[in-house]
Each structure stands twice: as structure tokens, then as C-alpha cells.
Amino acid sequence: MRRVTDVNAKKEATSILDGFKAFLMRGNVIDLAVAVVIGAAFTNIVNSVVKGVINPLVGAIGTQNLDHYSLCLQSPCKQASDGTVEKGVLILWGSVAGAALQFLITAAVVYFLMVLPMAKYLARQEARKKAREGQAANEPTPVTEVDVLQDIRDLLVAQRTGTVDGVVKQQRPAGPDVR
């Protein structure tokens, strides 16, 4: 009885590992991992833009650090040196505004530098594909050397028998590419 249980446990463990391996080998898992790594690296760029460009612009109006903007709901508001509130109710809306601004900048950069160019590229590729398909559908089939020889044969047979005077059985468009 114990051996049967051990064999079943090993089979189940093997099937779980096979399933996990199949999951990891799917393309979308790799794509997701790459997206997370690129996103983490991209965060540094966005943080630099916020610190180097946005915060100085905001600093022209007030302070360069948006985290210092707050609203006191219950007076008097008193904050300790470690950042905790000793008295009153303090709303730190500046940190929320900074995070929202950072999100908007990230979304704008991703859209204008990645999504929009890729959409334009894919649209051009689709237009080229449709143009090639449309061109292929509208082109007459090229006349080959065999077709021309068959027409000559049919004309010679028709002249010899006298049944049809110079009429080719199947009319083909004369193309510039007669070989």
C-alpha cells in the first residue's frame, strides 16, 4: 500500500513540475519579465525628469519638494521632527500630487516614445501589406512562352483546317513580358 502511494506522489510531483515548466516556457511569461525589468529601469529616468525638471518648475512657485505641501484639518497642526503629527489632522496632499504627476509623466513618455511610434509603424506595415495584396489581385497573369506557343499552334491548326479564321481559342492579354 505504501509503494502505491509513493508512486502516485511521484507522478503528481512530476506532473506539477511539467506544468510549471510549460508555464515558464510560454512566451508571455518571458515578455512580462522583460516588461518588469524595463519598467524598473525606466522608473529611474522618470524620477530624474521629476527631480531635475518638474520640481524646479514647481519650486519657482513654491517649494521644490512637493511632499512639503499639506493641509491642516484640525488646528493647530504640529509636526514632530521625525515627520509624525503631534497635534491636529494633517493631510499631506503634496505627496499625492507628486505621485500623480510622476504617473502622468511616465504615461506620457511611454505613450509618445513607445506606443505611438509602434502604432504608426504597424499601420505602415499593414498599408504596405494591403497594397501588395491589392496589386497582386489587380495584375493580369503574365503571358508565358508556353502560352504564346500554344496560341501560334492554335492559329496554324485553324488556318490549315479552314474552320476558324485567325481566332485564338483563349484570349490572353498581351503583356510586355513575353518570353
Helix extents (H) in the chain: 2-25, 27-49, 55-61, 93-110, 116-138, 145-161
128 and 159 part of one domain:
no
Number of domains in the chain: 3
Question: Is 37 contained in some domain?
Answer: yes
Is residue 67 very low, low, confident or very high in pLDDT (cuts 50, 70, 90)? Answer: confident
Is 54 in contact with 46 (CB distance < 8 Å)? no
108 and 147 part of one domain:
no
Q: Which residue has the higher pLDDT, 63 or 49?
A: 49
10 and 43 part of one domain:
yes
Question: Is 75 contained in some domain?
Answer: yes
94 and 50 part of one domain:
no
124 and 92 part of one domain:
yes
49 and 16 part of one domain:
yes
124 and 169 part of one domain:
no
85 and 149 part of one domain:
no
Is 52 in contact with 45 (CB distance < 8 Å)? no
3-state secondary structure of 115: helix
Tell me the sheet residues that pair with 89.
Answer: 74
Identify the CA nearest to 56 among candidates 65, 68, 43: 65
Length of the chain equals 179
Question: Is 14 contained in some domain?
Answer: yes
What integer pLDDT is reported at residue 176 of this predicted model?
53
Q: Which residue has the higher pLDDT, 63 or 166?
A: 63
Output the CA–CA distances (angstroms, integers) from residue 129 to 102, 135, 138, 162, in the order listed.
Answer: 39, 10, 14, 50
How far is residue 107's CA from residue 100's CA, in Å, rounded to a whole number?
A: 10
Residues 47-57: what's their mean pLDDT? Answer: 77
Question: Is 179 contained in some domain?
Answer: no
Is residue 179 very low, low, confident or very high in pLDDT (cuts 50, 70, 90)? Answer: very low
Is 38 in contact with 73 (CB distance < 8 Å)? no
Domain containing 29 equals 1-62
What integer pLDDT is reported at residue 81 of this predicted model?
76
Question: Is 45 contained in some domain?
Answer: yes
114 and 126 part of one domain:
yes
160 and 126 part of one domain:
no
% of the chain exceeding 70 in pLDDT = 80
Residues 54-77: what's their mean pLDDT? Answer: 76
How much is the pTM? 0.46
What integer pLDDT is reported at residue 174 of this predicted model?
53
124 and 70 part of one domain:
yes
Res 58 pLDDT > 80: no
Residues 10-29: what's their mean pLDDT? Answer: 77
Cis peptide leading into 76, omega within 30 of 0?
A: yes
Give, in degrees to the nearest 5, the angle at Cα 65 between 63 and 69. Answer: 70
48 and 109 part of one domain:
no
Half-sphere CA count of 161, side-chain side, radius 13 A = 8
Question: Is 166 contained in some domain?
Answer: yes
What integer pLDDT is reported at residue 120 of this predicted model?
93
What integer pLDDT is reported at residue 35 of this predicted model?
82
Question: Is 178 contained in some domain?
Answer: no
